[in-house]
Amino acid sequence: MCDKRKSCRSPMRNVHTSTMATIAAWQTYVEVCRLGSFSAAGAALGYSQSAVSRQLAGLERDLGVELLERRPRGVRPTAAGREVLRHAQTMVHAEAQARRAATDARDRRRLSIGAIPSASGWLLPQAFRALRATHPDVQLTLRSASSAELEDRLEAGLLDLAVISDYPPGLSVRAGITRTALLRDPMSVIVAADHPLAADEGPLELAALRDETWVEDNAGSAAVLQRAAAAVGFTPRVDLEAGDLMGKVALVAAGHAVALVPGLLVAALPPGVAVRTLADGPARTVYASRLEGTDPDPVVDGLVAELGLALEGRIAVP
């Protein structure tokens, strides 16, 4: 039971009636500590000396401690004030960063792109470089994931464009998404630079690799290999599994295995591997995927055009 002779003000009420410090007051406090003078801080911030005094008095009242020691030649932080100052500087810095981020968001166009890993290795960097030449103020972000994950992000409004493929398990029907075919992309095989097949010329029959050890990095690529090998009468021995394309290529370069790679990735392959085209190899289609019904966007359209230009000279979509 509350004693009527005492205040019954609740803690929640205290919070709401407390004088909460504004970021301007913290900025003033930081500046006063830096310059050691109310008048100098006021001049730097565009306040009168009395306005600076009011802000600092409000801060001290709100915190319940004395922040500044008034001296004949100015002011300096008290012991408590020095502890508070570190946090005040952090707040003021964060506020300045937030304002810069808001300005960037207002003044610069952000374009969020998603791409399958093999497109991130060569195609997107080429298209980004060309797009920046015509749209230098566009801020680009890139996310790499599977085709299904990328179209999930597209539907959620997290991407403006996704570069995907029909690698197994294939593409599901999605209402509201438009896919523009960019490329019919044949698979090639990579072997170590000192492999007996590395120096041969001309297309290679896939069956010539029936006795090789293979490495794969994902289920979709493994399914493509299994189907292609079955079509020419053998079961590939996939003894090695890599966590990503980089690991897959590294294992081939070290002579531990051979591997299928998309033609789209060939230009980004490092030294140490030799690329052989396949006479009877599988292929996939690469698409630019975006939401239907959105307003025409010259920046997105420009990126799709740059993707097409980057692919000139490759096998075109029938």
Answer yes or no: are the C-beta atoms of 176 and 291 closer than 8 Å.
yes
| Whether the model pTM is above 0.75 | no
Over residues 119-171, the pLDDT tens digits come to 988 888 888 888 888 888 888 889 999 999 999 999 998 999 999 999 888 99
Q: Kindly indicate the confidence band of residue 16, based on its pLDDT and cuts at 50, 70 and 90.
A: very low
Higher pLDDT, 268 or 313: 268
pLDDT digits 0-9 by tens, 67-102: 999 888 889 999 999 999 999 999 998 988 888 777
pLDDT greater than 80 at residue 8 = no
Average pLDDT over residues 276-285: 92
Second-level CATH architecture of 111-310: 3-Layer(aba) Sandwich (3.40)
* pLDDT tens string 234-244: 999 999 999 88
Tell me what pLDDT residue 130 has: 85
pLDDT computed for residue 136 by the predictor: 84
Coil/strand/helix, residue 66: coil
Rounded CA gap, 286 and 231, in Å? Answer: 23
Residue 63: pLDDT over 50: yes
Query: Is 217:244 a contact under the CB 8 Å cutoff?
Result: yes
Which residue ranges make up each domain of the chain?
11-106, 111-310
> Residue 21's pLDDT is what?
64
pLDDT bin (cut points 50, 70, 90) of residue 106 is: low
* Residues pairing with 118 in the sheet: none
Q: Residue 3's pLDDT band (boundaries 50, 70, 90)?
A: very low
Task: Evaluate whether the domain defined by 11-106 bears CATH number 1.10.3720.10.
Answer: no
Q: What percent of the chain has pLDDT over 90?
A: 58
